[in-house]
């Protein structure tokens, strides 16, 4: 499928990565339906892309609710030029901190936003995608969907779930018109990372990518219809190590776990002695 043949539903369109994905896709001629919870921010992005000649519309919806999913389905069916043939599940939230001290409502929100909502939205759009000559579901996950990280218990669990959903759905839809893709960025410099998370990344020597660079990787993966892509080095190595030798990665996580449990991530001056962390 060429970019100018894509009619894309993009969730999380107002987030750091989402905005740049929208810009990258618009520049390549894709038609866009932007989905998010902030009406003003969506409208601003809509106007920006239209001024640059893009075919774009937007819908304000919380895809964690049935009504929000219904609004997206209605708008995806009525896209100019034909119903949507690409769904990019990009919306996500994070809560950094010690799991034992987090509020149950925050844990539930992370799981709902990051894995349950994408599954239910995909489920709702599958009948629409199935009747297209060619269709794509792309799930934007995380390196932490393959490597569990201290301080990111709920987030890691949600992204492991999204990764598993992507893999299973890809295998289940073999032989149909739908291709399922999964792309896993490493840490990215967006507003989703609070000060504690940024300090933790600095203390552990964790690299963070610019959202524009991540968006370019996402869009190139979409264009190539590459089944899975893990962004970043040595993170890709750690994904393989974690799958083959998890006890080795366990040992490398002792210092990060200590930082989280002692609240040491508040210090910008801490450095790990071995520097080994994904």
- 29 compared with 97, residue with greater pLDDT: 29
Q: Please determine, for residue 203, whether its predicted confidence score (pLDDT) is greater than 70.
A: no
Q: To the nearest 10°, the Cα dihedral for 141, 86, 62, 211?
A: 50
Query: Quick one: CA dihedral 3, 93, 180, 67, positive or negative?
Result: negative
In terms of Cβ atoms closer than 10 Å to its own Cβ (0-12, 13-18, 19+), residue 126 is: middle
199 falls in which pLDDT band (50, 70, 90)? Answer: low
The label of the residue with tokens 């289940």 reads 172
Of the pLDDT bands very low, low, confident and very high (cuts 50, 70, 90), residue 201 is: low
Positions marked active-site: 155
* pTM of the predicted model as reported, rounded to 2 decimal places: 0.88
Mean pLDDT (whole number) for 25-49: 96
231-240: Cβ within 8 A, 24+ apart? 231/143, 231/183, 231/184, 231/185, 231/186, 232/143, 232/185, 232/186, 232/207, 234/278, 235/143, 235/147, 235/186, 235/278, 238/143, 238/147, 238/278, 239/143, 239/146, 239/147, 239/184, 239/278
Buried b (16+ CB within 10 A) or exposed e, 205-243: ebebbebbebbebbbebbbeeeebbbbbeebbebbebbe
- Give per-residue pLDDT as tens, 109-136: 999 999 999 999 999 999 999 999 999 9
How high is the mean pLDDT of the chain? 88
Question: 263-267 — which CB contacts under 8 Å span 24+ positions?
Answer: 264/203, 265/151, 265/196, 265/197, 265/199, 265/200, 265/203, 266/196, 266/199, 267/199, 267/203
Which one is predicted more confidently, 85 or 208? 85
Phi, psi of 229 (to 5 degrees): -145, 130
Report pLDDT digits (tens) over 138-178. 999 999 999 998 889 999 999 999 999 999 999 999 999 99
Name the strands in the sheet holding 135-140, side by side, starting at the edge strand that comes first in the sequence.
56-60, 31-36, 7-10, 86-89, 135-140, 178-184, 228-230
pLDDT digits (tens, 9 = 90+) for 67-78: 999 999 999 999
SS3 70: helix
pLDDT at 269 (0 to 100): 33
């Amino acid at each position: 499928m060429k970019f100018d043949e894509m009619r894309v539903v993009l969730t999380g369109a107002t987030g750091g990565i989402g905005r740049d994905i929208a810009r990258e896709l618009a520049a390549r001629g894709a038609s866009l339906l932007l989905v998010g919870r902030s009406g003003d921010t969506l409208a601003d992005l809509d106007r920006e892309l239209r001024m640059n000649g893009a075919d774009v519309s937007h819908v304000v919806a919380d895809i964690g609710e049935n009504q929000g999913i219904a609004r997206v389905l209605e708008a995806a069916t009525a896209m100019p030029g034909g119903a949507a043939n690409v769904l990019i599940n990009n919306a996500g939230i994070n809560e950094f901190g010690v799991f034992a001290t987090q509020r149950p409502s925050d844990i539930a929100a992370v799981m709902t936003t990051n894995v349950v909502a994408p599954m239910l939205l995909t489920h709702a759009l599958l009948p629409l995608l199935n009747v297209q000559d060619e269709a794509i579901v792309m799930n934007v996950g995380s390196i932490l969907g393959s490597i569990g990280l201290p301080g990111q218990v709920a987030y890691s669990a949600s992204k492991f779930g999204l990764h598993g959903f992507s893999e299973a759905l890809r295998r289940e839809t073999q032989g149909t018109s739908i291709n399922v893709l999964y792309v896993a960025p490493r840490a990215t410099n967006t507003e989703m990372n609070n000060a504690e998370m940024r300090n933790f990344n600095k203390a552990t020597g964790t690299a963070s990518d610019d959202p524009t660079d991540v968006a370019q990787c996402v869009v190139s993966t979409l264009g190539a219809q590459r089944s899975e892509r893990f962004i970043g080095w040595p993170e890709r190595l750690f994904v393989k190590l974690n799958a083959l030798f998890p006890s080795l990665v366990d040992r490398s996580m002792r210092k990060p776990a200590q930082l989280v449990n002692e609240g040491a991530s508040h210090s910008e001056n801490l450095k790990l002695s071995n520097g080994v962390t994904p």
